[in-house]
């Protein structure tokens, strides 16, 4: 159990457009989901924490108006990159926390975003 | 804030030998450290968690140690196989319950 999926697995878009990435916990309910970004040969960087039914908490330096997060249900969180630019090209990975234990986080397979 | 340091240089190990990867933290002693495996173009896969009060944790061919004096965790893979080739990430609790990761060590097991 504890499978997290992401959709799409990759996306190419033009500069200035918006892209939505979905993160789903398939076999458990996740009150908390996390969004990370990973540039080539770099570590995963936490962008924001998404709590079901409330506003997301963003890490310092992450623009909340650019990276819109919606956690509308216990199994789905979405990240929308608005007015994407080439520098937003990256590997976006979500994770979902099962239960109240902060230890148990399960990661999705990631979404490769390329902005032309 | 906590900083996790890993040797991001590639580590080449002969098949059958033990691979040892290092993770150092710079500030306060974290309550736990986690180790993940990441394959190219994929999300991290959880391997092991070791708590501050645990010296050692094992799972099949994997062993993790936690030394609060050295501010270090070691990750060992015994009887290494080419299929063990991947990037291994060390992480601990970061902001708002998310994780802070190191850059990872790229392990290559040569047949």
Hey, which residues 70-109 in chain A have their CB within 8 Å of chain B?
91, 93, 95, 97, 102-103, 105-109
Q: Would you tell me how many other CB atoms lie within 10 Å of the CB of residue B47?
A: 17
Q: Is A102 close to B97, i.e. CB distance below 8 A?
A: yes
Q: How far apart are CA B97 and CA B45, in angstroms?
A: 18
Give the pLDDT confidence score for residue A41 in this predicted structure.
84
Give the pLDDT confidence score for residue A52 in this predicted structure.
84
Q: How many helices and strands (H and E) does chain B possess?
A: 0, 11
Residue pair B9/B107 in contact (Cβ under 8 Å)? The answer is no
Contacts of B44 in chain A (CB under 8 A): 44, 93, 107
Give the DSSP per-residue string, B59-73. ETTEEEEEETTTTEE
Give the pLDDT confidence score for residue B104 in this predicted structure.
95
Q: How far apart are CA B77 and CA B59, in angstroms?
A: 10
Give the pLDDT confidence score for residue A64 in this predicted structure.
93
The whole-chain average pLDDT of chain B stands at 92
- Residue pointed to by tokens 């030998």: B17
Give the pLDDT confidence score for residue B49 in this predicted structure.
92
Structural tokens at position B53:
């009060």
Q: Is A43 close to B41, i.e. CB distance below 8 A?
A: no
Give the pLDDT confidence score for residue A51 in this predicted structure.
87
Q: State how far the alpha carbon of A68 is from the alpha carbons of A53, A57, A75, B37, B64, in Å.
A: 14, 11, 17, 29, 38
How many interchain CB pairs under 8 A, A with B?
63
Q: pLDDT below 50 — which residues of chain B?
A: none
Q: State how far the alpha carbon of A44 is from the alpha carbons of A25, A75, B52, in Å.
A: 20, 22, 23
Residue pair A17/A84 in contact (Cβ under 8 Å)? The answer is yes
Helix (H/G/I), strand (E/B), else coil: B97: helix
Best A21, A43, A94 residue to mutate vs chain B (most B CBs within 10 Å): A43
Residue pair A17/B74 in contact (Cβ under 8 Å)? The answer is no
Give the DSSP per-residue string, A21-84. EEEEESSS--SEEEEEEE-TTS--EEEEEEETTS--EEPTT--TTTEEEEEEETTEEEEEE-S-
pLDDT string in tens for chain A (116-residue length) = 689 999 999 999 999 999 999 999 999 998 899 999 999 888 999 999 988 888 899 999 999 999 999 988 899 999 999 999 999 999 999 999 877 665 678 999 999 999 99
Q: Using CB atoms within 10 A of its CB, is residue B77 exposed (0-12), middle (13-18) or buried (19+)? A: buried
What residues form DSSP beta bridges with B72? Answer: B24, B67
């Amino acid at each position: 159990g504890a499978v997290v999926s992401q959709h799409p697995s990759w996306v190419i878009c033009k500069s200035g457009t918006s892209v939505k990435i979905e993160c789903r916990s398939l076999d458990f309910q996740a009150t908390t989901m996390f969004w990370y970004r990973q540039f080539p040969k770099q570590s995963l960087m936490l962008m924001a924490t998404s709590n079901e039914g409330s506003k997301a908490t963003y890490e310092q330096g992450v623009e909340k108006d650019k990276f819109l997060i919606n956690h509308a249900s216990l199994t789905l969180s979405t990240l929308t990159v608005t007015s994407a630019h080439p520098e937003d090209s990256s590997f976006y990975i979500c994770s979902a926390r099962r239960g109240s234990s902060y230890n148990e986080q399960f990661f999705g397979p990631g979404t490769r975003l390329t902005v032309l | 804030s906590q900083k996790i340091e890993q040797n991001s240089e590639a580590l080449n190990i002969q098949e059958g030998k033990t691979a040892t990867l290092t993770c150092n933290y710079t500030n306060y002693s974290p309550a736990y450290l986690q180790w993940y495996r990441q394959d190219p173009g994929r999300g991290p896969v959880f391997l092991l968690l070791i708590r501050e009060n645990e010296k050692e944790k094992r799972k099949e061919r994997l062993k993790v140690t936690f030394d609060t004096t050295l501010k270090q965790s070691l990750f060992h893979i015994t009887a290494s196989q080419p299929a063990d080739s991947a990037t291994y990430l060390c992480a601990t609790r970061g902001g708002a319950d998310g994780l802070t990761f190191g850059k990872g060590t790229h392990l290559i097991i040569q047949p």
